[in-house]
A and B are shown apart, each in its own frame.
Chain A
Amino acid sequence: MSPLLASAGPSLAWYLTRSSGIVALLLLSAAVVLGVVDVRRYSTPRWPRFILDALHRNLALLAIVFLTLHILTSVLDSFASISPLDVFVPFTGSYRPFWLGLGAISFDLVLAVSITSLLRRRMGYESWRAVHWLSYASWPIALLHGFGTGSDIQSTWLLVLSLACMALVLGAVLARVIPVWGRYPHRARAALGASAIFTAFLALWLPGGPLGSEWARRSGTPSSLLSHRHAATGTVSHR
């Protein structure tokens, strides 16, 4: 393994993992927003339907590129010993198994959505659409994964960025659900209820969780890495 990847401190791979993860989250948020723009048929003369549709598709594909980079670098990096299996199978890893597992689940869902989209002509419209709904699930799971495993969450800029993505996606869900409230009242209520619960959960959990003290230990970082962490990042443990 290259010296860079094998270093005990913050390696290139570690930075790449974190940064590509953040970019992937940003792009996925944009893709979800554009997906709602697509299905609600918003367009302007400058931004016709076919352009916005292509933008949705291409941003999603770009997100997957960064997601792949994020996953590859996290596996290759020797710091946290994430195995290739942990990428697909949740909760089997040694490093923050629950929070990493959420990432695996989210990735599985993204894979399902993207593969079916590439093969959509062969699948038939109805089946493709049914799988595509899973994107609404993959996003919040990815966000939770980011909060749970991310080592930068306590920095203000990343918190603001994550919450901004959250607001955007929430806005997209509202824009998706409210216009069809009359026609599908049960589904609309379920969607809004789930979003409200998720938001409330974040509001209640974040301060005492990832933003609280010793989150690295509480989230399941192996003890062998804990002291390493403090030395590597040079952070002083918060209370």
Chain B
Amino acid sequence: MSSPTQTLTDTPPPRPASGLPRLLAGIPADGAMNLAEHLALHGGPPPLSRRGRREQPPLIGQIEEAGLHGQGGAGFPTAVKMRAVAASRGRPVVLVNAAEGEPASLKDRTLMQTVPHLVLDGAILAAEALGADEVIVGVCESARASVSSVAEAIAQRGAPRRRSARTRLVGVPAHYLAGQESALVNHVNGATAIPSFTPPMVFQRGVARRPTLVNNAETLAQLALIARHGPSWFRELGTASQPGSTLLTLSGPVAHPGVYEIAYGTSLQSLIAAAGGATAPSRAVLLGGYGGCWVAGEHLANLVLCDEHLSAHGASLGAGVVALLPAEACPVAETARLARWLADRSAGQCGPCVHGLHALAAAVKEIAAGGAQRGCEQRIERLTALVRGRGACGHPDGAARMISSAMLAFGGEFADHARHGPCDGCRDPAFLALPRSSDNFAEHGRSTAGKPVRPR
């Protein structure tokens, strides 16, 4: 426990470490870095001058120069988002997004559990740069260790200094869509954690109708490091278009699945090696998240983990999910299960999503069960084009992307199943974990659910 009199500006900043780890540096064996350990390793944030401004160059300019992009999946340039909040009317709020509704991703709860102070630093620095008086930390309720770690960290910091933002913790339900920007804001505002139609965007009107900066927890942790060590240091790792490091959640047949920090541009094989090597051959990888992109096995040997390279396969790193599919799994069965699961995660607000994802799941299941007429593949192609961009959020686009990429990556297997029906692998339990959750809106019949179908 740090001494109550210790302030954030007491310790001088140490020389920045080169190479990895950055975010995950110095994590003690028992799990969480307390305030003293955090300050000893990273030093305090740049000190406030007597006028209440940071002595360093303005933060947003540094973030822009560093080329930091959002780490929550959308990859939006952080500086642009911050400028948008700064330009909006009203006193801003900073909302840390550690909702992490993506089941295959563990990085945000890991960050909040092990290095909460780094994330809090980033949030408070952003708040000070924007003139915000409040920082809200949204953490997934079911990640209990993370929740208590953040609560502890906020308590360790004590009362905010004059002109610094006050911080509070908000538990977020473990729903797939709860981490979507407007859904998270709605939850903080006391409504259901489902997306809203935009405009107005949350950077204009969000929490309590104030301009809100919603940033992924990892993004803010990176911000905290950039503020200390500068943009050039940040760019020492990574690629020109994707500088810096990033957290990935590696799952599948490797010795030590879990959260890893890599520099953008690292190869998939080095990541697997860092995780103790493969325990079995993989036939494919799902990148980005359950609404991400499948890449077939033949590309795995040369796969480079940065969006520039992955775009050749139609993929991106998204929320940092790298889910390897072992050779013995049936990719068609996994895709069918995933498609059904994603359809059930729909908030039930938009007709094309509710009906389209349901129809897609049914079509994929039909192929998987065999005996599908030739029209099935065309139907899937038509439906994926029909749902893209027609929801209030990116959920239908993600489901469409996952299914389209599966049809492409597993063309042979799909054709096989269509002709001969289920294979042996279909009967195995699911490899990709599909948690049962309480957010089956379509089933529970929310007031706006049951999206009508117009009689023809």
- A-to-B contact residues, CB < 8 Å: 41, 183
Contact = CB atoms under 8 A, between A and B. Distances in A.
Nearest to B445: A183
A41 B450 contact: no
Contacts of A41: 452, 454-455
Nearest to A183: B450
Contacts of A183: 445, 450
Interface of B: 445, 450, 452, 454-455
A9 B450 CA distance: 59
A39 to B, nearest CB: 10
Specify the main secondary structure of chain B where it touches its partner. Answer: loop
Nearest to B455: A41
Nearest to A49: B454
A183 B442 CA distance: 12
A71 B450 CA distance: 43
Contacts of B445: 183
5 contacts: A41-B452, A41-B454, A41-B455, A183-B445, A183-B450
A24 B450 CA distance: 36
Specify the main secondary structure of chain A where it touches its partner. Answer: loop
Nearest to B447: A126
Contacts of B452: 41
A183 B450 CA distance: 9
A94 B455 CA distance: 52
Contacts of B450: 183
A41 B456 CA distance: 10
B444 to A, nearest CB: 12
A40 to B, nearest CB: 9
B349 to A, nearest CB: 13
A86 B51 CA distance: 69
B453 to A, nearest CB: 10
A41 B455 CA distance: 8
B198 to A, nearest CB: 17
A108 to B, nearest CB: 27
A165 B452 CA distance: 30
Contacts of B455: 41
A109 B445 CA distance: 30
Nearest to A180: B450
B226 to A, nearest CB: 43
A41 B454 CA distance: 8
A41 B452 CA distance: 11
Contacts of B454: 41
A126 to B, nearest CB: 9
Nearest to A42: B455
A134 B445 CA distance: 24
Nearest to A43: B455
A183 B452 CA distance: 12
A183 B445 CA distance: 9
Nearest to B454: A41
A114 to B, nearest CB: 25
B316 to A, nearest CB: 37
B448 to A, nearest CB: 9
A43 B261 CA distance: 60
- Closest A-B pairs by Cβ, 5 of them: A41-B454, A183-B450, A41-B455, A183-B445, A41-B452
A183 B454 CA distance: 17
A204 B323 CA distance: 72
B446 to A, nearest CB: 12
